[in-house]
């Protein structure tokens, strides 16, 4: 659908924002929207919006009417969720953060299916994660599980010290994508792996920089 061309990361990062905003619009009964209106709600420019959609080919707004909300949503759903197939994912680490983020895959699927959660802590193993019926498994069973069930994505909620070794193991087992909460920047060692880093401390430090150093 994207004509085989590589779409830049900033465009990819805007797709979920378009998707969320348009879903809200559709829910309130809006059927069409101009690039100018979309831009105003996303904090960007109309020209940027048109360029973004042009990356994906065959969506055109109509002069004086704008884009069809349904058409845009159908395009975005196909780009973000394919034909509705859920990507099998595992999670490593069931501490406080792990418990909190697992629901973004288990309750809201966001296009994924959480197949197992692993932890080394004996007091967690055997319990269920969050309010799901997905059992937390012993980390010792990780390799066998991956060989049998072939998950494609791993959610890493482990300390930096464990993350590097774990990543090597997981890449070797065929994991293609990481949702990475650890402070190990795996994309340096594994450039072909797809990584979304969520570095919460970094995010706070950036906020602090702007509060301390910028005049507003």
Residues 3-22 that bind a second copy (CB under 8 A): 6-7, 12-13, 15-17, 19-20
Residue 185 contacts a second copy per CB under 8 A: yes
Specify the residue for token string 């919460």.
200
Rounded to a whole number, what is the distance in angstroms from the first to the last CA of the chain?
Answer: 42
Task: Tell the smallest beta-carbon distance from residue 63 to a second copy (Å).
Answer: 26
Closest CA to 52 of 61, 65, 82: 61
Q: Which is nearer to a second copy, 112 or 118 (CB)?
A: 112
- Residue 102 phi/psi, 5-degree rounding, is -60, -30
- Report if residue 164 touches a second copy, rule: CB under 8 A: no
Burial category of 10 from C-beta neighbours within 10 Å (exposed 0-12, middle 13-18, buried 19 and up): exposed
Q: Which of 186, 114, 95 is nearest to 153 (CA)?
A: 114
Burial of 129 (0-12, 13-18, 19+ CB in 10 A): buried
Closest CB to a second copy among residues 58, 144: 58
Within 187-206, the residues that bind a second copy by CB under 8 A are 187-188, 191-192, 194-196, 198-206
207 lines the binding site for a second copy (CB under 8 A): yes
Is residue 133 a contact residue for a second copy (CB under 8 A)?
no
Q: Residue 40, interface with a second copy (CB under 8 A)?
A: yes
Contact 139, 165 (CB under 8 A): no
Give contact residues for a second copy (rule: CB under 8 A). Answer: 1-2, 6-7, 12-13, 15-17, 19-20, 40-43, 79-82, 87, 96-97, 99-101, 103-105, 108, 110-112, 130, 152-153, 176-177, 179, 183, 185, 187-188, 191-192, 194-196, 198-214, 216
């Amino acid at each position: 659908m994207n004509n085989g061309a590589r779409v830049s990361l900033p465009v990819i990062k805007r797709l979920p924002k378009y998707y969320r905003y348009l879903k809200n619009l559709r829910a309130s009964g809006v059927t069409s929207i101009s690039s100018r209106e979309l831009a105003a709600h996303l904090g960007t420019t109309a020209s940027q919006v048109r360029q973004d959609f042009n990356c994906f080919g065959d969506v055109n707004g109509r002069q004086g009417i704008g884009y069809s909300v349904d058409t845009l949503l159908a395009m975005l759903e196909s780009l973000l969720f394919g034909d509705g197939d859920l990507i099998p994912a595992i999670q490593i680490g069931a501490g406080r953060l792990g418990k909190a983020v697992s629901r973004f895959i288990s309750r809201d699927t966001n296009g994924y299916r959480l197949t197992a959660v692993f932890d080394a802590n004996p007091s967690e193993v055997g319990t269920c994660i969050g309010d799901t019926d997905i059992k937390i498994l012993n980390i010792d069973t990780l390799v066998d599980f991956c060989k049998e069930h072939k998950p494609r994505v791993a959610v890493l909620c482990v300390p930096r010290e464990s993350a590097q070794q774990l990543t090597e193991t997981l890449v070797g087992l065929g994991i293609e994508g990481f949702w990475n909460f650890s402070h190990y920047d795996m994309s340096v060692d594994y450039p072909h792996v797809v990584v979304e880093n969520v570095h919460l401390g970094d995010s706070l430090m950036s906020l602090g920089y702007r509060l301390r150093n910028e005049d507003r």
